């Protein structure tokens, strides 16, 4: 697509007629916009160069100004921060760089005053190797030893100890790490500091349910569940008591240390995973039975569409309300044709159960920013797709402004995905730091993010002209378009209306929403 032209046309075919809402009443999460906040990069309240909870609280009026009704916070639990919060050492505590439990409770209270729901990031697949659980396991505590996945190594022909099999970590290298304290290897599908939890142990299942109950009891309105399709490994008893090697993927563009070198048929998308999600939904619904408020579950799964939609539930059990739809991240970019866009949009709508809603995600903390992938000229058009298609819109902080990836040098790189390449030239292909650079509030020092002399990641270049303050003051801006789209979502045609679309040629994608006597056409070129 070469450029973008937005042509919203509201056609009221019989404008004097008042529409009667004959559709079912929609739940709160079905009509809102979810806004992802990466706490470390959003707003720093104490000048240490790191975003925090009080910083988020101070910016809730901005969230309200956008027309957003729910914020989703990336992990803010206690952590050694090797993977910046996704290595949790205490699931029941707030990370000290981000604040205190009192700060979190104040955030919930202030958000409630603004009518904003708060959703947290649940990381159930693993914990930190600095957690009490793992340290107790190393000290011989049998209960906590069984919280993790342990395996004997293999002695090779030279008498050297080797990992149990060829499984690869998402962060390169073996997914197994040896510990002298127990004389075995533990499984870590992610970084070495993130030992996998053993969901074949009922104690682990109950522990995670208690964690969910704890935070829902604090007033949280739901969870986004991280890496959920990695929860279970194949049952090794089906293979004579030994975990089998995974087959080669056949990809020639990756090296043997890469996660993508293998086809992960034994470490992802196991059948038991869906049942675990259904059990968690039961816990969510315990709270709804008490006060009538639905707690929302959003699942992060990069998998086939057939596997993704199974997280909605089955004929007997309900699962996640929002299995994330990543097709607008994985399937299309600036080089895509209108037909590619149409296919990516229609795919989720086609495969999802007819009684379930869609959702639209174009960016997050793990993927290059939307404005970088699609190009700045398509920012308004992509936001129009996200916010005006049937279903729930999900926005990664800064997408409303058209923020782009920031440059982070090899010396400043902190993301283990980049650091583990040990490649000062090509690290940028793996690092997630560029999409995590600080939020751009104004043209002042550090884009108004922090008063510190040095921020945890450098602020992106060009922030002086691309920030909230500039776009708020402008007659026309990405932010103004975003606000208009958020307001338009409240209309019945977007809440209840039907949808169809057409790729008119290689560059023109048109979709329309219509409800009774109201028709709205949008075209994106």
pLDDT given at position 1 = 54
Where b means 16+ CB within 10 Å and e means fewer, 8-39 reads eeeeeeeeeeeeeeeeeeeeebbebbbbbbbb
* pLDDT averaged over every residue in the chain: 95
Report whether pLDDT(4) > 80.
no
Torsion, Cα of 53, 56, 58, 59 (10° steps)? 180
Cα dihedral across residues 464, 468, 473, 479: positive or negative: positive
- Which tops the pLDDT comparison, 130 or 525? 130
The count of other CB atoms within 10 Å of the CB of residue 61 is 10
Number of residues that make up the chain:
525
pLDDT given at position 246 = 99
Of 262, 260, 148, residue with least CA distance to 196 = 148
Angle of CA points 287, 290, 291, to nearest 5°: 95
pTM flag (> 0.85): yes
The count of other CB atoms within 10 Å of the CB of residue 276 is 20
Report whether pLDDT(418) > 70.
yes
Where b means 16+ CB within 10 Å and e means fewer, 488-511 reads bbebebbbbbebebebeeeebbbb
Q: What is the CA radius of gyration of the chain?
A: 23
pLDDT given at position 179 = 98
> Domain boundaries in the chain?
126-196+234-269
Of 401, 131, 123, 170, residue with least CA distance to 268 = 170
Report whether pLDDT(349) > 80.
yes
Report whether pLDDT(11) > 60.
no
**Residues tagged active-site:** 226, 300
Report whether pLDDT(2) > 70.
no
Once rounded to an integer, what is the mean pLDDT over residues 359-377? Answer: 97
Mapped onto helix, strand or coil, the DSSP state of residue 186 is strand
Tokens of 436: 């995590």
Tokens of 328: 């607008």
pLDDT given at position 523 = 61
Where b means 16+ CB within 10 Å and e means fewer, 454-475 reads ebbbbbbeebeebbbebbeeee
Mapped onto helix, strand or coil, the DSSP state of residue 454 is coil
* Residues 219, 41: Cα–Cα separation, whole Å: 24
Q: Please, are residues 395 and 359 in contact by the beta-carbon 8 Å criterion? A: no
DSSP 100-145: -HHHHHHHHHHHHHTT-EEEEEE--SB--TTSHHHHHHHTT-HHHH
pLDDT given at position 48 = 99
Per-residue pLDDT reduced to its tens digit, 86-139:
999 999 999 999 999 999 999 999 999 999 999 999 999 999 999 999 999 999
Tokens of 222: 């739901």
* Residues 267, 523: Cα–Cα separation, whole Å: 42
Report whether pLDDT(453) > 80.
yes
Tokens of 478: 């990405």
CATH number for the region 126-196+234-269 comes to 3.90.400.10
Torsion, Cα of 246, 325, 316, 200 (10° steps)? 30
pLDDT given at position 24 = 81
* Residues 481, 498: Cα–Cα separation, whole Å: 23
Angle of CA points 447, 326, 479, to nearest 5°: 35
pLDDT given at position 517 = 74
Could you tell me how far CA 495 lies from the centroid of its own chain? Answer: 24
Per-residue pLDDT reduced to its tens digit, 36-69:
999 999 999 999 999 999 999 999 999 999 999 9
């Amino acid at each position: 697509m070469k450029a973008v032209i937005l042509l919203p046309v509201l056609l009221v075919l019989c404008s004097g007629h008042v529409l009667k809402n004959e559709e079912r009443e929609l739940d709160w999460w079905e009509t809102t916009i979810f806004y992802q906040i990466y706490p470390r990069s959003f707003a720093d309240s104490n000048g240490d160069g790191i975003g925090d909870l009080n910083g988020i609280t101070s910016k809730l009026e901005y969230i309200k100004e956008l027309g957003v009704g729910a914020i989703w916070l990336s992990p803010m639990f206690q952590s050694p921060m090797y993977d910046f919060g996704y290595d949790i050492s205490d699931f029941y505590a707030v990370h000290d760089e981000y604040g205190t439990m009192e700060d979190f409770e104040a955030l919930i209270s202030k958000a409630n005053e603004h009518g904003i729901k708060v959703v947290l990031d649940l990381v159930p697949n693993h914990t930190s190797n600095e957690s009490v659980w793992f340290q107790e396991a190393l000290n011989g505590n049998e209960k906590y030893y069984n919280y993790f996945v342990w395996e004997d190594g293999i002695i090779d022909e030279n008498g050297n100890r080797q990992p149990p099999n060829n499984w690869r970590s998402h962060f390169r290298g073996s997914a197994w790490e040896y510990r002298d304290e127990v004389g075995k290897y533990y499984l870590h599908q992610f970084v070495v500091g993130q030992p996998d939890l053993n969901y074949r142990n009922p104690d682990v299942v109950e522990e995670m349910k208690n964690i969910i109950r704890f935070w829902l009891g604090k007033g949280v309105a739901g969870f986004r569940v991280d890496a959920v399709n990695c929860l279970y490994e194949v049952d090794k008893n089906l293979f004579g008591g030994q975990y089998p090697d995974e087959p080669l993927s056949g990809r020639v563009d990756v090296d043997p240390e890469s996660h993508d070198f293998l086809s992960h048929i034994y470490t992802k998308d196991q059948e038991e995973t869906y049942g675990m999600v259904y059990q968690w939904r039961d816990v969510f619904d315990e709270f709804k039975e008490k006060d009538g408020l639905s707690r929302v579950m959003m699942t992060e799964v990069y998998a086939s569409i057939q596997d993704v939609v199974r997280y909605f539930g089955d004929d007997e059990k309900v699962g996640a309300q929002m299995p994330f739809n990543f097709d607008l991240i994985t399937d299309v970019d600036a080089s895509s044709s209108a037909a590619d866009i149409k296919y990516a949009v229609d795919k989720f709508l086609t495969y999802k159960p007819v009684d379930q809603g869609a959702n639209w995600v174009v960016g997050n903390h793990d993927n290059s920013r939307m404005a970088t992938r699609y190009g700045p000229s398509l920012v308004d058009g992509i936001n129009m797709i996200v916010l005006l298609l049937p279903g729930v819109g999900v926005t990664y902080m800064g997408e409303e402004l058209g923020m782009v990836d920031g440059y982070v040098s090899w010396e400043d790189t902190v993301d283990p995905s980049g650091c583990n390449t040990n490649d000062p030239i090509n690290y940028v292909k793996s690092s997630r730091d560029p999409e995590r650079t600080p939020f751009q509030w104004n043209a002042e020092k550090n884009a108004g993010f922090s008063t510190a002399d040095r921020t945890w990641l450098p602020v992106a270049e060009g922030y002086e002209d691309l920030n909230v303050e500039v776009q708020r003051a402008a007659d026309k801006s990405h932010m103004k378009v975003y606000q208009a789209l958020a307001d338009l979502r409240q209309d019945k045609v977007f809440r209840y209306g039907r949808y169809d679309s057409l790729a008119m040629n290689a560059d023109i994608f048109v979709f329309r929403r219509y409800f009774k006597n109201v028709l709205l056409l949008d075209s994106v070129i």
